[in-house]
Amino acid sequence: MATWNQLGLQDGASPLMEQLIFFHDHTIMVIIMVTTLVGYIMTSLLFNKFLNRFLLEGQVIEVVWTLVPAVILIFIAMPSLQLLYLLDEVSEPILTLKTVGHQWYWTYEYSDFINVEFDSYMIPTQELADNGFRLLDVDNRTVLPMNTQICMLITAADVLHSWTIPSLGVKVDAVPGRLNQTSFMMSWPGLYFGQCSEICGANHSFMPIVIESVSTNQFINWMYKMSEE
């Protein structure tokens, strides 16, 4: 979960988010080098008193300043394309979870082996426990097993929503009448917080997402408990 003084990305809790952080750091380093070089050249030109009145063209330098940016873009584009295809990869998921966005709450449905369905509402501030997180905690958390490939099917019942968990690197639009798909795997146990990232109405800020990552045995016990209720 992000804190009030955090300026960077959240710690990666999934392989996808770790790769996104690596790509972000790679791109930032390239940008810093380009900015430093351009800044040095511009500063040198400002303090340079020499003039060349007879310079009409410079084919060599024109070729250089065309090829160098092209090579830099290739160094950025190659890992970007690799990561783009990796984000869309859904390879043999073990568990499928269906998510439906409503104004203003989420509905989750587990239907692989036991039919479990529940709504997840934000806990109002006046009902929040002392150790709760304001505007982020929900009454029914989405419990999922860690180290498990999970396929998420996302849609909406009324207007556009967006199901987002920053620490997992997941952000998928929930579109009425359309079923979007993504996959992720959580590397660590714990709580992962997110919020709707599409302006969906008056209470857009009050439909948070909480995923509880647990071991496989704890997840199976939770499933049986929910099915009995």
Cβ count near 41 (within 10 Å):
10
State the pLDDT at residue 56: 78
State the pLDDT at residue 143: 93
State the pLDDT at residue 224: 85
State the pLDDT at residue 207: 93
* Contact indicator for 29, 37 with CB cutoff of 8 Å: no
pLDDT tier at 85 (50, 70, 90 boundaries)? confident
Give 99-139 pLDDT, tens digit per residue: 999 999 999 999 887 888 899 999 998 888 888 888 899 99
State the pLDDT at residue 84: 86
Q: Please give the torsion angle defined by the CA atoms of residues 213, 214, 218 and 221, in that order, rounded to the nearest 10 degrees.
A: 0
For residue 203, pLDDT beyond 80: yes
Q: Does domain 15-88 have CATH number 1.10.287.90?
A: yes
Q: Which of 78, 76, 224, 96 is nearest to 151 (CA)?
A: 96
- Can you tell me the mean pLDDT for 38-46? 91
**CA atoms of 172 and 130, how far apart (whole Å):** 32
- Can you tell me the mean pLDDT for 140-146? 92
Q: In terms of DSSP H, where are the helices of the chain?
A: 15-46, 59-87, 216-228
State the pLDDT at residue 98: 94
Which residues, at least 6 apart from 169, have a Cβ–Cβ distance to it below 8 Å?
A: 12, 14, 16, 17, 19, 20, 87, 184
pTM (predicted TM-score): 0.81
CATH 2.60.40.420-classified regions of the chain: 95-228
Interhelix angle 59-87/15-46, nearest 10 degrees: 160
CATH 1.10.287.90-classified regions of the chain: 15-88
Task: Share the mean pLDDT of the chain.
Answer: 89
Q: Is 220 helix (H, G, I), strand (E, B) or coil?
A: helix
**CA atoms of 221 and 226, how far apart (whole Å):** 9
State the pLDDT at residue 33: 94
**CA atoms of 2 and 158, how far apart (whole Å):** 29
Give 57-70 pLDDT, tens digit per residue: 888 888 998 999 99
**CA atoms of 68 and 84, how far apart (whole Å):** 24
**CA atoms of 40 and 43, how far apart (whole Å):** 5
For residue 183, pLDDT beyond 80: yes
Fold that domain 95-228 belongs to in CATH: Immunoglobulin-like (2.60.40)
